[in-house]
Amino acid sequence: MIEVTALTKRYGKKTALSGAGLSLGKGIYGLLGPNGAGKTTLIRCLVGVLRPTGGTITIQGETGYLPQKFGVMGSLTAYEALDLFAELKGLPREARREEILDSLARVGLEDAEKRRVKALSGGMVRRLGVAQAILGDPENLILDEPTAGLDPEERLRFKNLFAQFRGRRTVLISTHIVEDVESLCDHIILMNGGRILTVATADELRSAAQGKVYSVPVSERENLQKPFFLLRDELAEGQERLRVLSDVEQPGQRIPATVEDGYMRYLKGAV
Ligand SMILES: Nc1ncnc2c1ncn2[C@@H]1O[C@H](COP(=O)(O)OP(=O)(O)O)[C@@H](O)[C@H]1O
Ligand SMILES: [Mg+2]
């Protein structure tokens, strides 16, 4: 359980987090927002690395944490690195070896036990970071961009791993990639400009853009009706089309909205 009220963080004159309020129970929460939204600042306040300028934080239970920049001494083996974290977490010695091997296996690093960290790929170090976060099976898991820099297969593995915590633990996962959260997270916390814009399900985000997304032939570019937001150029049935978000009728056809369309609609301040 994690509760936050009126949380604010200023770095000098820069307000990175402004009056954030959240109440997280058991479930998987995606913290979604563009770079600079304030995700890392919020997370660092939650785990106590940063001291907030104002507001309150209440956390029940132990918290496992993966920082956005996870690193560990390269001369250690993967096993030794986790043993160090186990020591810091105060895990009982008897169960330690078993827990470490279990964590390694859960992130797919069972063969890396004896390999030195400096010989691991970036994606593997990321996975080692997740292994230390889940070590000891904490009540809360807070992961700052766990899928950054991972290939599609590794992303899928992580999604499956995190899905195992559903309904059992409080999991907060930050990302700037909509695809990461839409199939995995029970709730999506949208952040931008240091504020929490909304907490919604993927379906609710999609609904926010339903009926407002148009596929417009490029030849009609000049005839677009203001106000509109150009989502992207895309190929539809082999033709180049403009994907447009707008509250007013556009010279094209309405198409079904995606979660990403809903996300963009919130970011553009139109909801
Ligand atoms: N140590 C710092 N000093 C000054 N500004 C910072 C510092 N850390 C982050 N910021 C600023 O705070 C804002 C939020 O940053 P951050 O929390 O890292 O966002 P995110 O994780 O969503 O990309 C950004 O504008 C960033 O430049
Ligand atoms: Mg960040």
Q: Domain residues of the chain, as ranges? A: 2-201, 211-255
pLDDT of residue 114: 97
- Ligand of minimum distance to the alpha carbon of 148: 2
Strand order in the sheet with 54-59: 14-24, 2-11, 54-59
pLDDT tens digits for 111-162? 999 999 999 999 899 999 999 999 999 999 999 999 988 888 888 888 999 9
**CA 12 to ligand 1: nearest atom:** 4
CATH assignment, 2-201: 3.40.50.300
In the chain, % of residues over pLDDT 90? 87
pLDDT of residue 201: 97
Which amino acid appears at position 33 of this protein?
G
* pLDDT class of 271 with cuts at 50, 70, 90: low
Question: What's the CA gap between 110 and 102, in Å, rounded?
Answer: 8
CB-CB contact of 214 with 250 (8 Å): yes
Nearest protein Cα to ligand 1, atom 12: 16
pLDDT tops 70 at residue 270: no
Question: What's the CA gap between 226 and 15, in Å, rounded?
Answer: 32
Ligand 1 pocket, mutate which of 11, 53, 174, 267 (most atoms under 8 A from CB): 11
pLDDT tens digits for 222-234? 999 999 999 999 9
* pLDDT, mean over the chain: 94
Question: What's the CA gap between 69 and 87, in Å, rounded?
Answer: 21
Tokens linked to 29: 């929460």
Which amino acid appears at position 39 of this protein?
K
Token pair 């132990």 in the structure block, residue:
62
pLDDT tens digits for 49-101? 999 999 999 999 999 999 999 999 999 999 999 999 999 999 998 989 999 99
Q: How far is the CA of 38 from the centre of ligand 1 (A)?
A: 6
